[in-house]
Amino acid sequence: MVLDRIKTENKVCYILGDFNIDYLKYDDNANVGSFYDLMFSYSFKHLIENPTRVQLNSSSIRDNIFCNDLTHHHTTGILVADISDHYPIFSIRANDITSSNSNKITYRAN
């Protein structure tokens, strides 16, 4: 399993995306609990704490960023924008921005 290799080799890893697994249902749904327990067992912490999909009668945290680098402080957030039915998320790790790369921005465009 990839997570075993990451842990064995002591690699810093970020896993992010739309997981379609609602973290807000952690206590109510065994499958959600199993997924998050698996991530926690490999020392991954979820960095997004607030809903990333909000509708009139419900909200969910289906988009997340997991990281096994617990030595750095992460500034995370949600960009409230109506470009999709999910809000974009971000994470900035402390000390990632230096004078040599402060103008570099990496992104994925559709």
> Picking from 4-13, 71-80, 99-108, which range would have the lowest pLDDT averaged per residue?
99-108
pTM: predicted TM-score of the whole model, two decimal places: 0.78
- Which pLDDT belongs to residue 56? 86
* pLDDT at site 40: 95
Token pair recorded at residue 86? 């999910």
pLDDT grade for 7, boundaries at 50, 70 and 90: very high
Average pLDDT over residues 69-80: 87
- The stretch 34-41 carries a mean pLDDT of 95
